[in-house]
Amino acid sequence: MAVFHVQGSEKFASGSEDRGVDPERLDPRLRLHHPDDALSVDALTYEIVRHRLAAITEEMGAAIKRMSGSVVVTDAVDFGVCITDEVGDAVQVGMYNAQLCATMDMAVRWTLQNRSDNPGIQAGDMFLCNDPWVGGGVHQNDVSLFAPLFVGDELFAWTCAVAHQIDLGGVSPGSWSVHSKDVFWESLPIPPLKIVSGGVVLADVEDSYLRRSRMPALVGLDLRAKIGANNVAQQQLTRLVERYGADVVKTVMRRIMDDAEGRLRQRLTELPDGEWSSVAYQDQARVGDRGLYKIALSMTKHGDRITFDFTGTDEQVEGLINCTFAGLRGGVVTGILTLICGRIPWAPGGLMRCVEIISEPGTINNCTFPSGISKASVASAWATGNAVHECLANMLDAEETSTPEFMSVCKGTFGLSLLAGVDQRSNPFVTMLSDCMAGGFGARPDRDGVDTAGESPNLGGRIADVEMNEFAYPVLYLWRREEPDSGGPGRFRGGLGGSSCLIPHDTAARAIHLVSCSSGKALPQAAGLSGGYPGSASYEVIVRDSDIRNQLRESGMPIALVDIGGSAEIVPPALETVLDWDDVYYFEWQGGGGYGDPLRRDPSLVARDLTDAKIGEVAAHDIYGVVVSDDDTGFLIDAAATVTRREELRQVRVSESEVRP
């Protein structure tokens, strides 16, 4: 890609880890709160305040869900909240979409250093940002709103809320511009902008923000939901300070981060030193592209420190799959939180002290302005998280323990299906279906992965009810179900993914605009571990000119694509098209990776999976090497034939390895 210089872009360049605030760049009138270093807090007070901070993030999440009108927020829970100290170090991340909050510290620090003198930072202010080169989100649809909390005349902390907004302009509805060559095809990023001043929403700023959207009322409601979440947090934090004193609360905040750092260092010390590597891929940078792009990671753990080196990653490309350093860092942070910090406070402000990130600007997961990034969250940022997950899991797998607490890579990506048009009430609509959030979790060393469990970066994520989607939008589901063989085979099987199949319904337009933007079609994204196979690839089909409506009237609901008729059109990783009245849209999302050699799976578990339709007979015979017969009582294992079949498969492996260069 030809990279050209944009005047003033240096101000927004990140490209590397920067955890400090330069005092020289702060307005001298802005006073930061620093507690007495000699102050000690007893254990009981520490636990009360620590749990109260966590509870405040839960209250923030509840406020967003109650005030938002977007299914993406209320049902899919695609948002995040956090509390930081006065310089932006994250003290508490809410149990929602952790990827969205993983770079709030970057956005707060940028605001401190670039907004403290003009327009200034005062009590009652809130700053809006959707600039991934600054932080606070991974692509432009991630809009963060963060507010300084003052105690007296000192800046004490920041409260932050961020959520995916359904449309912020750009060439395509929903702002996922599949034809994008650079960011100017997409929704333009907004660096931190004061949108609330002294507790009052600035009408001119809000109007300029909402004017870019095809759905301004919905985006405006989400803005107020985030304002409400920050107000809730500020009120509760103020009460906490009034009860225990500013110095005590701030001391607890710092101790939380110190505790997180200390416990992570202790955990790393217990793990074996070594180096692990992974390569993740992205397919199709934009419509018409046939490229395959790699993200290379070499992870080194020595003592109580861990280094993520992305040297060797492909250069940024013309298209929408790049991510900024914020996306790369989000992949690192979420991997550490979900795999290592099950019993460690989720305080990235302390955890990241143990981490070093090496990355070259100008690569697909550390791109420079003005690269296209509208797909970043589920493209290079997500793939970065997959590579981090695989390396961390392999490191944990090297530990000798009787209670392994890790899993193979979970659902490899988010398969975007974005619908737009005129709804059943004759109103315009844009929505992102969240069905694929029910992805399969990776297998563990001692058990199968959980089927359609969710997605590891978003602990609170879920899918909307079919009935909710049909109520809100002009679609009719033919089915939504788990898909056999979508979980990665292994000694323990990866969790199943699923599929949805739907048609346009009850719209005067008799058609729906579709933007499909799903990675992992050329290569599966959820890697297996220790000989386990990856989870399934993504798969989408549009059946054109079907006879589905006559079938529904005359013979009932079909159960498979082959029953629908019509002409099948395979959907590439990036496509913008129209679903006509007689078209059927089918999309299948990914399962989790398997663990261990499939030939070592207990045959009785294979028979159980066959009975439960978790796998098919071809997989049982050709991958697991289990020979069964089927009668009225179920699948019966032929033990002798299974031993023979598995030996045959092992010999095939040997012969293939001998001819491999």
pLDDT tens for each residue of 19-60: 678 887 888 899 999 988 878 999 999 999 999 999 999 999
Q: Of 284, 275, 268, 357, which Cα lies nearest the Cα of 317?
A: 284
- Asked if 514 and 430 sit in the same domain, the reply is yes
- Asked if 531 and 554 sit in the same domain, the reply is yes
Q: Look at the alpha carbons of 120, 148, 135, 169 in this order and tell me if their dihedral is positive or negative.
A: negative
Question: What is the reported pLDDT for 270?
Answer: 94
Q: Which two tokens stand for residue 212?
A: 């870019």
Answer yes or no: is 379 within a domain.
no
Of 231, 254, 276, which residue is a domain's last? 231
Report the pLDDT averaged over residues 586-606: 97
Question: What is the reported pLDDT for 660?
Answer: 61
Answer yes or no: is 457 within a domain.
yes
Q: 451 and 496 in contact (C-beta within 8 Å)? A: yes
Question: What is the reported pLDDT for 10?
Answer: 63
Q: What is the pTM of this model?
A: 0.94
In the chain, % helix, strand, coil (3-state, to 5) comes to: 35, 25, 45
Q: 570 and 541 in contact (C-beta within 8 Å)? A: yes
pLDDT at 657 over 80: no
Q: Which two tokens stand for residue 415?
A: 């398969």
Question: What is the reported pLDDT for 1?
Answer: 39
Report the pLDDT averaged over residues 462-467: 90
Answer yes or no: is 413 within a domain.
yes
Contacts of residue 410, Cβ cutoff 8 Å, sequence gap at least 6:
389, 439, 440, 441, 442, 449, 453, 455, 456, 495, 526, 592, 593
Answer yes or no: is 341 within a domain.
no
- pLDDT bracket for residue 9 (50, 70, 90): low
- Asked if 467 and 564 sit in the same domain, the reply is yes
- Asked if 567 and 510 sit in the same domain, the reply is yes
Q: Of 578, 573, 588, 586, which Cα lies nearest the Cα of 287?
A: 573
Report the pLDDT averaged over residues 638-660: 90
Answer yes or no: is 57 within a domain.
yes
- pLDDT bracket for residue 242 (50, 70, 90): very high
Report the pLDDT averaged over residues 634-648: 94
Answer yes or no: is 357 within a domain.
no
pLDDT at 5 over 50: no
- Asked if 94 and 159 sit in the same domain, the reply is yes
- Asked if 548 and 483 sit in the same domain, the reply is yes
- Asked if 108 and 217 sit in the same domain, the reply is yes
| Cα(327)–Cα(282) distance, integer angstroms | 14
What's at 54, amino acid-wise? A
Distances (CA, A) of 273 to 270, 334, 417, 626: 9, 21, 42, 38
Report the pLDDT averaged over residues 185-201: 97
Question: What is the reported pLDDT for 544?
Answer: 97
pLDDT at 503 over 80: yes
What is the signed CA dihedral for 26, 27, 28, 31, rounded to 10 degrees? -80
Report the pLDDT averaged over residues 306-329: 97
On the question of a cis peptide bond just before residue 189, with omega within 30 degrees of 0, the verdict is: no
Per-residue burial over 441-456, b if 16 or more Cβ lie within 10 Å, else e, is: bbbbbeebbbbbbbbb
Answer yes or no: is 31 within a domain.
no
Percent of the chain with pLDDT over 70: 97
- Asked if 631 and 517 sit in the same domain, the reply is no
pLDDT tens for each residue of 121-145: 999 999 999 999 999 999 999 999 9
DSSP-derived 3-state class of residue 463: coil
- Asked if 415 and 551 sit in the same domain, the reply is yes
pLDDT at 95 over 70: yes
Of 185, 216, 231, which residue is a domain's last? 231
Which residues are paired to 455 by β-bridges?
458
pLDDT tens for each residue of 198-232: 999 999 999 999 999 999 999 999 999 999 999 99
Q: Which two tokens stand for residue 138?
A: 């991974």
The domain in which residue 490 lies consists of 407-596
Report the pLDDT averaged over residues 397-401: 88
pLDDT top residue among 629 and 236: 236
Domains: count for the chain: 3
Q: Of 374, 385, 537, which Cα lies nearest the Cα of 458?
A: 385
Question: What is the reported pLDDT for 23?
Answer: 80
Q: 459 and 564 in contact (C-beta within 8 Å)? A: no
- Asked if 450 and 504 sit in the same domain, the reply is yes
pLDDT at 8 over 60: no
Question: What is the reported pLDDT for 3?
Answer: 41
pLDDT tens for each residue of 250-259: 999 999 999 9
Of 182, 214, 231, which residue is a domain's last? 231
Question: What is the reported pLDDT for 481?
Answer: 96
- Asked if 77 and 128 sit in the same domain, the reply is yes
| Cα(104)–Cα(89) distance, integer angstroms | 8
**Interhelix angle for 380-397 vs 325-340, to 10°?**
30
| Cα(500)–Cα(434) distance, integer angstroms | 11
pLDDT tens for each residue of 555-583: 888 989 988 989 999 999 999 999 999 99
Percent of the chain with pLDDT over 90: 84
Burial class (CB in 10 A: 0-12, 13-18, 19+), 397: middle
| Cα(186)–Cα(166) distance, integer angstroms | 13
Answer yes or no: is 446 within a domain.
yes
pLDDT at 162 over 60: yes
- Asked if 135 and 213 sit in the same domain, the reply is yes
pLDDT top residue among 190 and 2: 190
Q: Which two tokens stand for residue 299?
A: 């992870």
DSSP-derived 3-state class of residue 84: strand
| Cα(449)–Cα(441) distance, integer angstroms | 5
pLDDT at 2 over 50: no
- pLDDT bracket for residue 661 (50, 70, 90): low
- pLDDT bracket for residue 7 (50, 70, 90): very low
Q: Of 537, 531, 516, which Cα lies nearest the Cα of 601?
A: 531
Q: Which two tokens stand for residue 563?
A: 């029953």
| Cα(364)–Cα(371) distance, integer angstroms | 9
